[in-house]
Structure 1
Amino acid sequence: MARFSATQFGVLVLVWSTSYVVASLTVDMQLEQLRNNYMKLEQVLASKDSRLEFLEQKVQQHGNLEAQITRLVNEVNQMKTQVRRAPKLELKVQRQESLLNAVHGESRSHNVSLRQGTTQMPKSCADLKNNGHTSSGMFLIMGIKMVETVFCDFSKAVNDPSFQKWIGFADVKSFPVYFHAQRIGNYGAANTVIPFNQLRLNVGNALNPVTGVFIAPKAGKYFFAYSGLSWDSNAKVQLQMKSATADWSRIGEAHCTPFNTFALQSSLELKKGDEIRIIHIHGVIHDRDGNNFSNFVGLLLEEDVFGC
């Protein structure tokens, strides 16, 4: 077998060393390349994260935008609804203003051809038109003594005969007044006011049952009626009235024989404070058996609302 020489061995060592150095250099270069690639990858990922965050912000802004658009659409729809209701609301406001003007007494002067007035309440369709009414319809106006109902056609001229049509009187009362009084027990005191010890009704408290006197709380037309039964003798009663300018005077009278009925009725126009009573002249009024033979009733038919 041939032997390597020292020169050959040295050559082999030199080749091996060179190969090792080259291999080492190649690995370092690869590691450096890997580091560089890793850093570039981190930069790319950071850029993508920033882009993703930006896109997420855009999506959130888009959602907020959609919510604002929805709110604006709802507000527009509400405004459309209010616009559609505006004519009806305007008509209601006009009617309420007319009522407030009548109640609070806002005086206005009018120069029209129909029944005129300078008071706070409208007296005609022309007054209502001057107050701002434009929608035709039925209205309440101030009559001579009572509230009246008229139909106003605001599409026609004031001097047109069909501009105002009178409908009738409105039964307006500031408060109701009516009573029904009875007696329990005979009554025989001559020339005295008949008292009543049983009240069925006394709305308005205008009748004092103890004194038997009715005092008109409001000016207007009233109706009164009295009926009774005599005892064992002739009996007589009177309906009397007293005013601020006149003392008690007889309005009506009724009398009967023993154990017979008597009655009287009257419709009267009274001023506020006028008084009404039933006077027992003579005889005995029979109510001992509890059959309620005696009845005194009265009620306000029409109120003089304006106190003329």
Structure 2
Amino acid sequence: MIGFEDVKSSPTYFYVQIFNLSFDQPNVPIPFDTARLKVGGSMNLQTGIFTVPRKGKYFFSASGIGFILASSARFWVDIHIMRNGNRIGSSSPDDTANFRQWEQFSLQSTLNLQPGDQIWWEIGYMNAGFKISHNGFNHFTGFLLEEEITHSLK
């Protein structure tokens, strides 16, 4: 037999969005205001931080749009997925805006994590005039793929 028989994991997953506020602050976790799904109690909407409850492999996805105001110069922004204050992935849309240009971003990551690790996404560098959009265009999803349970079976 491969694996473990009749071992149950406590479910951990979330899907949150930004509906009621735009966001334009760099280098801080992006807060969310709407939870479509939040099981396991590890995602904090107000802080925008997911705190890992159990050791294992987790999957995260962040996607959405932001907008820039009119500009004749090149514009760019960095969006990061962060782990304990360290960048682990980035998306960097750039363009020249004629009038209120929309910019898309998408990031995914699968990670081995320890209890207490914290995951969030944030704006890194940005030109003046950039905002993460509201109205449900921005999404952050995460879930436990595989819990490491060998230490609890000893």
Query: Is TM more than 0.5 here?
Result: yes
Give secondary structure in 1 for the equivalent of 2:102: coil
More strand by share: 2
TM-score, normalising length from structure 2? Answer: 0.80
Q: 1:305 is matched with which residue?
A: 149
Structure 2 unaligned residues grouped into runs of 5+: 69-74, 95-100
Post-superposition offset of 1:170:
5.7
Counterpart CA distance in 2 for 1:227 and 1:170 is: 36
Query: Letter of the aligned partner of 1:178 in structure 2?
Result: Y
Counterpart CA distance in 1 for 2:137 and 2:104 is: 9
Q: C-alpha offsets along residues 66-125 of structure 1, whole Å, 9 cap, x if unaligned? A: xxxxxxxxxxxxxxxxxxxxxxxxxxxxxxxxxxxxxxxxxxxxxxxxxxxxxxxxxxxx
Out of 257, 272, 279, the position equivalent to 2:122 is: 279
Verify: 1:235 aligned to 2:72, yes or no: no
- Equivalence map 1:247-286=2 (5 Å): 248-257=85-94, 258-281=101-124, 282=126, 283-286=130-133
Cα 1:302/1:188, change in 2 over 3 Å = same
Cα 1:170/1:181, change in 2 over 3 Å = farther
Give secondary structure in 1 for the equivalent of 2:112: strand
Out of 138, 145, 149, the position equivalent to 1:294 is: 138
Cα 1:270/1:301, change in 2 over 3 Å = same
Give secondary structure in 2 for the equivalent of 1:230: strand
Could you tell me whether the CA contact under 8 Å between 1:173 and 1:305 is conserved in 2? no
Bigger RCO of structures 1 and 2 (CA < 8 A, at least 6 apart): 2
Post-superposition offset of 1:204:
0.2
Which is higher, the Rg of structure 1 or of structure 2? 1
Could you tell me whether the CA contact under 8 Å between 1:235 and 1:284 is conserved in 2? no
Counterpart CA distance in 2 for 1:266 and 1:229 is: 19
Give secondary structure in 2 for the equivalent of 1:307: helix
Q: 2:44 is matched with which residue?
A: 208
Q: C-alpha offsets along residues 216-270 of structure 1, whole Å, 9 cap, x if unaligned? A: 100000000000102025332111112xxxxx21100112134121000000000
Query: Letter of the aligned partner of 1:216 in structure 2?
Result: V
Post-superposition offset of 1:279:
1.3
**In percent, how many aligned pairs have the same letter?**
37
TM-score, normalising length from structure 1? Answer: 0.41
Q: C-alpha offsets along residues 126-181 of structure 1, whole Å, 9 cap, x if unaligned? A: xxxxxxxxxxxxxxxxxxxxxxxx1xxxxxxxxxxxxxxx4x56694431000000
Give secondary structure in 2 for the equivalent of 1:259: strand
Verify: 1:174 aligned to 2:17, yes or no: no
Out of 187, 198, 203, the position equivalent to 2:23 is: 187
Aligned length: 135
Q: 1:121 is matched with which residue?
A: none
Structure 1 unaligned residues grouped into runs of 5+: 1-149, 151-165, 243-247
